[in-house]
Amino acid sequence: GAGVSQTPSNKVTEKGKYVELRCDPISGHTALYWYRQSLGQGPEFLIYFQGTGAADDSGLPNDRFFAVRPEGSVSTLKIQRTERGDSAVYLCASSRSGGGGTEAFFGQGTRLTVV
């Protein structure tokens, strides 16, 4: 498709388990972002990739969170030893080149529920 695709759309996991969330950006977009949106809040930045490298990971809350983008297209957000507080919608966005003036296109998100 032409838009940003995220899978799965919903994920329920048990506390302590490991999860992977996938983002397929718009073809040709070099910049990719992950955000986390808790209920009733605005999205919060997690990590930014420019190509294959993480250019800014200052938003990752702790070392249980990790993300990769090995070939500069698809990205995977990985969460180890999940906690109930990790429950949120995880949004992915991509843009043509990154930078302040570039429009970011968002996927529909993955709703993660940790029980």
Q: Pick from 4, 53, 50: which is nearest to 31 by CA?
A: 50
Say whether residue 25 binds another protein (CB under 8 A): no
Q: What is the C-alpha to C-alpha distance for residues 60 and 45, in angstroms, rounded to an integer?
A: 8
Name the minimum Å distance from CB 21 to another protein. Answer: 14
Residues between 41 and 70 that touch another protein (CB under 8 A): 41-45, 48, 50, 55-56, 59
Name the minimum Å distance from CB 16 to another protein. Answer: 27
Q: Pick from 95, 102, 4, 7: which is nearest to 50 by CA?
A: 95
User: What one-letter code names the amino acid at 47?
Assistant: I
Among residues 23, 88, 91, 114, the one that binds another protein under rule CB under 8 A:
91
Say whether residue 103 binds another protein (CB under 8 A): yes
